[in-house]
Structure 1
Amino acid sequence: MTSSPSFADLTTIGVGGEIARFSEPTTRVGLIEAIEDADHAGIPLCMLGGGSNMLVGDAPFHGVVIRDGRRDIVVPDEADPVEGTDTTVHLTASAGANWDDFVEFAVSLGLEGVEGLSGIPGTVGASVVQNIGAYGQEVATSVESVEVWDRKAKVVLTFDGDSMQFGYRTSALKQSMFGEEGAKFFPSPRYVVLSVTFVLRHSPTGTLAYPQLARALNASLGDRMNTEVIRGAVLRVRAAKGMLEDPARYNNHWMSGMKREENIAKDNQVVDALRLDDTEPSHVFRITDRHSCGSFFINPQISAHRAEQLPDNAPKFGVTLADGQPGVKTSAAWLIDHAGFHRGFRVSKQSSAALSSVHTLALTNIGGAKASEVWALAHAIQDGVQYAFGIDLIPEPVVVGLE
């Protein structure tokens, strides 16, 4: 066994080069010291969570990869129980805690607010950097504060929700790794998450805020249902779309301890139940469909004028653009599909990178793919959508070591 893993060992898409140095501190002080050591030495630093939102090149990474080894989740309100009509409860989790472990813990306590985010791979720290969202919920709506290490000022700071500047799949933390200033810190943010405090609500039920989820439960949009039932439905829907990570990845030595064993077993049960359901097409069981970065492209947000030029049947949802003007969000998956890229598309028969066989928003490693193959597929799709609709698709994953 090598002393350091490769990015292929640590990422959900299973590609990426060897890592010169890997560190997994298990204390808050140890984490800050590891970051400081890398920054003081002036070598590239990559902060890694669950490896679900990264595409890293095939060449060796001549730097330090740090993964927070802390997994604790605590309930600070336990000493101050809920009284009267106040139903709020706070949960604080270390940045290294597995995100789905956090969701399962919250739901098991009878708390509402994150059940729609079940099954998203990654860590608590990464969840606020990316402002993850799914099935009508975003992490931003449940965040009270984020404790970070400021790599520039070399101090611990606490950001409240407003200071995080949450946007669609972005935050102030994510933006701090881009631009002229951010280039000094890339491929990690200037602000490294240490812990997150969430504010949730005591409630055995949650709201069905997404049409696909409501249909899966034979209910109507806006209905209230048990949060455990909602969580179970989200996991099944994600699995059927190939968007539930491969539970077998935790058999890898380098992934050991990253997720609670009981939750890995539950994921296997979800997959097994689909396998036995003869109403589901056989392709939902292909493990390779889950070897991806998740959704590879962000749903474009465009001006209302630009949206009028799209076909009438294109999905269009009203949003507020970054400049404060009214705009429209459309579906990246729809654009890809209608630009002529079918499920399972590959740039060549020899390529081991393909669009998912279930839907067109995930780029997958179907076995032994190189990062360069995934990147070539991404470029082909971007070029095709630009040619067909004049819209630039922006990758959602952080891309390292690829032009």
Structure 2
Amino acid sequence: MTDSFTPQLLDGLDNVTVDTHTTFADVTSLRLGGRPRAFVRCSTPEAVVEVVRRLDDTATSWLIVGGGSNLVVADGELDLVAVAVENKEVSLGDDGLVRAGAGAVWDDVVAAAVERGFGGIECLSGIPGSAGATPVQNVGAYGTEISDVLTRVRLYERATGETRWVPASELELAYRYSNLKFTGRAVVLEIELQLTTDGLSAPLRFGQLAGKTGERRDVRAVREEVLGLRRKKGMVLDPAEHDTWSAGSFFTNPIVSAEVADRVRDSVRADRGDDDADRMPAWEVAGGIKLSAAWLIERAGFPRGYPGKRSPVRLSTKHTLALTNRGSATSEELANLARTIRNGVVSVFGVELVPEPVWIGMEF
């Protein structure tokens, strides 16, 4: 089967708009990326299914786009079709059951739940992107992951052509992982969450949040505190502020063996002294010890704002885990900075950082 795509392939479909002018730089939070063959906007789940089915039938390369906050896309003309999922309906039951279309803005879902006094996702406030992306990489922040509250997802299974609700237990959810990630086997159409209804947050697990570990606080207060912390780190997108033109946390926190963690700590102790080594963030998790990518980046010699004001791409001046476009960058310049940081951390600590964003049309 050969690719025979033309925009006319999608003529006559309800709730579908085909745009041949939009670029990825227009829609991604990094404001980077070239022009796809078409940008296809789908406002219902049924439209998404039919578009993907027709593209698969013609062997056309395609990419699902939600909020565009987790993509690093090559510059230039791209040999793929972007499928924008824009079904944005959100329903909230009195029992705390929340159902959201995959195209819903994730922070709008959080805000609506918090306004109703529903608890469980308040620590995920301010995360950019769409609701449909949250289960794909098991989005998490401040001690909470979507797997804590996700009950099921509605998927379009490409191999069978079926649309079905799948229990969260079938997704193999782990740290920044699901069996949907990188596989392309299915498209998320809707998600369903079970939240609490007593007006209190999930038990607090993160030291930067006020209150004792395990304490439950008013969901509205926790949301505002989380938003404040994210703003201080430049992690709430502001179109007028280049320090927020990023893909959020660019690298995942590495999980290493206890021996590697001890080696890193010893290296810091020798180079920076006991106080810094004793403060090294390290958490016991399934599979080993989780280290802080941001902490490693700084200790490897990459401070906030690196490599300096003249660079079109640099680390955020607020947080070393965000790589930012200062307004005139190219995707390759961003990729080069990411590689420099990865290689530097490997050289100093022997730990390889893995990027969170999905790379399209280019290699890391």
Please say whether Structure 1 and Structure 2 have the same fold, judged by a TM-score greater than 0.5.
yes
| Structure 1 unaligned blocks of 5 or more | 79-87, 177-188, 249-286, 322-326
- What is the DSSP-based 3-state SS (H/G/I as helix, E as strand, rest coil) of the residue aligned with 1:289? helix
Counterpart of 1:315 in structure 2 is: 281
Counterpart of 2:344 in structure 1 is: 384
Tell me, yes or no, if structure 1 residue 157 matches structure 2 residue 164. yes
Q: Deviations over 1:94-117 (max 9, x none)?
A: 101110000011111111100000
**Alignment-mate amino acid for residue 168 of structure 2:** G
Counterpart of 2:188 in structure 1 is: 193
Deviation of the 1:392 alpha carbon? 0.7
Q: How far apart in 1 are the matches of 2:129 and 2:139? A: 10
**Alignment-mate amino acid for residue 191 of structure 1:** A
Counterpart of 2:250 in structure 1 is: 296
Counterpart of 1:38 in structure 2 is: 55
1:342 is aligned, of 295, 303, 306, to: 303
Deviates more, 1:303-312 or 1:228-237: 303-312
- What is the DSSP-based 3-state SS (H/G/I as helix, E as strand, rest coil) of the residue aligned with 2:209? helix
Q: Deviations over 1:8-32 (max 9, x none)?
A: 1110011111122011111222110
- What is the DSSP-based 3-state SS (H/G/I as helix, E as strand, rest coil) of the residue aligned with 2:136? helix
Deviation of the 1:3 alpha carbon? 3.9
Q: Residues 13-92 of structure 1: matches in 2 within 5 Å?
A: 13-75=30-92, 77=93, 88-92=95-99
**Alignment-mate amino acid for residue 30 of structure 1:** A
Identity of aligned residues (%): 39
Q: How far apart in 2 are the matches of 1:336 and 1:44? A: 35
Q: Is the 8 A contact 2:69 2:129 kept in 1?
A: yes
- What is the DSSP-based 3-state SS (H/G/I as helix, E as strand, rest coil) of the residue aligned with 2:26? helix
Q: How far apart in 2 are the matches of 1:42 and 1:384? A: 40
Deviates more, 1:101-110 or 1:205-214: 205-214
Counterpart of 1:184 in structure 2 is: none
Q: How far apart in 1 are the matches of 2:145 and 2:320? A: 22
Q: Is the 8 A contact 1:59 1:401 kept in 2?
A: no
Deviation of the 1:350 alpha carbon? 5.2
Q: How far apart in 2 are the matches of 1:32 and 1:244? A: 31
Q: How far apart in 2 are the matches of 1:223 and 1:146? A: 29
Deviation of the 1:68 alpha carbon? 1.2
| Structure 2 unaligned blocks of 5 or more | 1-18, 266-276
- What is the DSSP-based 3-state SS (H/G/I as helix, E as strand, rest coil) of the residue aligned with 1:310? helix
Tell me, yes or no, if structure 1 residue 131 matches structure 2 residue 159. no
| Residues 247 and 105 (structure 1), Cα distance of their counterparts in 2 relative to 1, 3 Å cut | farther
Q: How far apart in 2 are the matches of 1:198 and 1:205? A: 16
Q: How far apart in 1 are the matches of 2:314 and 2:106? A: 27
Q: Residues 90-129 of structure 1: matches in 2 within 5 Å?
A: 90-129=97-136
Q: Is the 8 A contact 1:143 1:196 kept in 2?
A: yes
Q: Deviations over 1:30-63 (max 9, x none)?
A: 1101111111111211101101111001122122
Q: Deviations over 1:274-311 (max 9, x none)?
A: xxxxxxxxxxxxx1110000000010001112112112
Tell me, yes or no, if structure 1 residue 146 matches structure 2 residue 106. no
Aligned length: 332
Q: How far apart in 2 are the matches of 1:59 and 1:151? A: 29
Counterpart of 1:220 in structure 2 is: 212
**TM-score calculated relative to the size of structure 2:** 0.88
Counterpart of 1:205 in structure 2 is: 200
Q: Deviations over 1:329-387 (max 9, x none)?
A: 001001100000111112x8753010010111000001111000000000000110000
Q: Is the 8 A contact 2:66 2:86 kept in 1?
A: no
Q: Is the 8 A contact 1:351 1:373 kept in 2?
A: no
Counterpart of 2:5 in structure 1 is: none
- What is the DSSP-based 3-state SS (H/G/I as helix, E as strand, rest coil) of the residue aligned with 2:113? helix
Q: Is the 8 A contact 2:118 2:196 kept in 1?
A: yes
- What is the DSSP-based 3-state SS (H/G/I as helix, E as strand, rest coil) of the residue aligned with 1:162? helix
Q: How far apart in 2 are the matches of 1:71 and 1:349? A: 39
**Bigger fraction of residues in helix:** 1
Q: How far apart in 2 are the matches of 1:72 and 1:128? A: 17
**Alignment-mate amino acid for residue 299 of structure 1:** N
RMSD: 1.5
Tell me, yes or no, if structure 1 residue 306 matches structure 2 residue 260. yes
Q: Is the 8 A contact 1:112 1:204 kept in 2?
A: yes
Counterpart of 2:14 in structure 1 is: none
Tell me, yes or no, if structure 1 residue 398 matches structure 2 residue 358. yes
**Alignment-mate amino acid for residue 234 of structure 1:** V
**Alignment-mate amino acid for residue 114 of structure 1:** I
Q: Deviations over 1:191-239 (max 9, x none)?
A: 100111111111112133211122xxxx333333210111111111111
Q: How far apart in 2 are the matches of 1:62 and 1:175? A: 18
Q: Where does structure 1 differ by over 6 angstroms across 4 or more consecutive aligned residues?
A: none
Tell me, yes or no, if structure 1 residue 353 matches structure 2 residue 320. no
Q: Is the 8 A contact 1:293 1:362 kept in 2?
A: yes
Deviates more, 1:33-42 or 1:139-148: 33-42
Q: Is the 8 A contact 1:151 1:191 kept in 2?
A: yes
